[in-house]
Amino acid sequence: MNKRFSPIALSFLYSAFAATAASLPSTAGPEDLVAYALEHNASLAAAGARTEAGRERVPQARALPNPELMYSHYIQRMDVRQSIGVRQAFPYPGTLARRASVAEREAEVRAMDAASLRRVLADEIIRTYANLAYIDATLRILGDNISILERIEQSVEARIEAGDGSGAALIRAEIARARLEDERAALEARIPPLRARMNRFLGRAPHEGLPSLKPLEAAVAETSARNDGPGGLAAHPDLEGLERAIEGRREAVELARREGRPGFALGAEWMDTVSGKREEVMVTLGISLPLWRERYRAGEREARAERRALEAERRDRRYRLEAEFREAADLHEDALRRAALYGDRLLPRGRQALEAEEAAYAGGRGDLLDVLDAQRVLLELQQAHDAALADILRSRATLIRLLGDS
């Protein structure tokens, strides 16, 4: 398990990531599917576009308001027949910088949302992969066990022909095989919705076919997840995004203060006199009067309240992420333990027990119930082993979502 899960190496803003997968291979592992999804997923593309749109708000917030062009024509002519002027408004010093800062923080929050979505997408793909691969493995196991029961039925029929068997024994074997066939049919019915779900994550139509999946053991061998403790959660995009949002609200408090201070406007006006012999030019200076003080105080209180809400949300999110991490880390360790127990110790013994019971029954020494019981135990051990492998993938998916990958 030395190979790192490189396609979901999630650094700050994911600026270093560049997906290169153009198509899916004929046989794919979780790494291949995640790489393809990062390039083709529609939700991720939408998040990227929203991030880009947020960045484009910064120069808009920094810009001055449009200058105002004025024209006056005097109906009752006095000394001036007409005039043309232009006026530019300027907010209180520092207001534009605060507006731009608020917009920058909002753009960073959108970038963190996109980064979080990448992690969630990788999590969903690995989990769906684990479910599909587990079903594939279980279907192979059921097929093998159905073949075992067919072989047992042949042994029973041989003993019946030799006058050393009963029809009831044959019926037991047929019932056991029919149950496995029913279980196989039920599992096959679960595949289409899971494939449709996976295709959605990959940015493909639900009915499109998927490549063959690597077996669970190979998928587990090629994935890995960080487990550097709860301290690694500090860089989680959700927490980073909330921190940026809190900074934005701090800037919004200062912006509300400046919005309540007077701005000014500079202008110039050219006047056409009646005599036409003299042109007048006038320079104007205007000052805005923020008289409605309660409006600006309310804006400042609003920004402060939103900041407190975000600070509380950040604490709650941190506690939730820590709880998820501890649960995932424990599940991962337990799944590793179970996979080793079943794969290294119990499965070999289960196969030996079935072989011994089959040999004894074929030699006329054993009982069919012992053979069927050994077959059932082996099936349960095989399924438990594959379930443990699937749980390893699922718990790693959670750890990757929480801690990212290096």
Question: Who's near 381: CB < 8 A, 6+ residues apart?
Answer: 342, 346, 347, 350
pLDDT at 327 over 90: yes
CA–CA distance, 258 with 92 (Å, rounded to integer)? 6
Nearest-5° Cα angle at 183, 123 to 211: 45
Q: Which two tokens stand for residue 226?
A: 């960080």
- H helices of 228-292, in order, are 237-259
Report how far residue 169's alpha carbon sits from residue 368's, in angstroms, rounded to the nearest whole number: 7
pLDDT digits (tens, 9 = 90+) for 163-174: 766 677 788 888
- Tell me what pLDDT residue 373 has: 87
Highest-pLDDT range among 179-193, 284-298, 357-371:
179-193
- Residue 17 forms part of a structural domain: no
**In this structure, which amino acid lies at residue 163?**
G
Contacts of 66 (CB under 8 A, 6+ apart): none
pLDDT value of residue 176 = 87
More confident residue, 366 or 8: 366
Question: 83 falls in which pLDDT band (50, 70, 90)?
Answer: confident
- How confident is the model at residue 266, as a pLDDT? 92
pLDDT digits (tens, 9 = 90+) for 313-324: 999 999 999 999
pLDDT of residue 12: 31
Asked if residue 221 is part of any domain, the answer here is yes
Strands ordered across the beta sheet of 279-287: 68-73, 80-90, 264-273, 279-287
pLDDT of residue 274: 64
Q: Taking each helix axis as running N to C, give the angle between helix 42-62 and helix 95-161, from 0 to 180 degrees, rounded to the nearest 10.
A: 170
Least confident of 3-12, 169-178, 187-196: 3-12
CATH number of the domain that residue 223 is part of = 1.20.1600.10
Q: What is the mean pLDDT of residues 185-210?
A: 93
The share of the chain scoring above pLDDT 70, in percent, equals 91
The torsion region of residue 19 among left (phi > 0), alpha (psi -120 to 50) and beta comes to beta
Q: What is the mean pLDDT of the chain?
A: 86
Domain membership of residue 92 (yes or no) is: yes
- Interval 124-163: pLDDT, tens: 999 999 999 999 999 999 998 888 888 888 877 877 777 7
In a domain, 7, yes or no: no
Asked whether residue 19 is domain-assigned, the answer is: no
pLDDT of residue 200: 94
pLDDT band, residue 77 (cuts 50/70/90): low
Residue type, 97: A
> Looking at the 3D structure of the chain, how many domains does it have?
1
- Whether residue 2 is contained in a domain is answered as no
* pTM of this structure: 0.82
Residue 347 within any structural domain of the chain: yes
Residue 106 inside a domain? The answer is yes
Closest CA to 203 of 46, 37, 30: 37
Residue 13 pLDDT greater than 50, yes or no: no
Strand, coil or helix: 279? strand
pLDDT, position 6: 35
Q: Give the model's confidence band at 20: pLDDT under 50 very low, under 70 low, under 90 confident, else very high.
A: very low
Domain that holds residue 195: 27-403
**Which segments within 103-259 are labelled E, that is strand?**
212-213
Distance CA 392, CA 255 (A): 50
Confidence band, pLDDT 50/70/90 cuts, at residue 44: very high
How many Cβ atoms are within 10 Å of 188's Cβ, its own excluded? 12
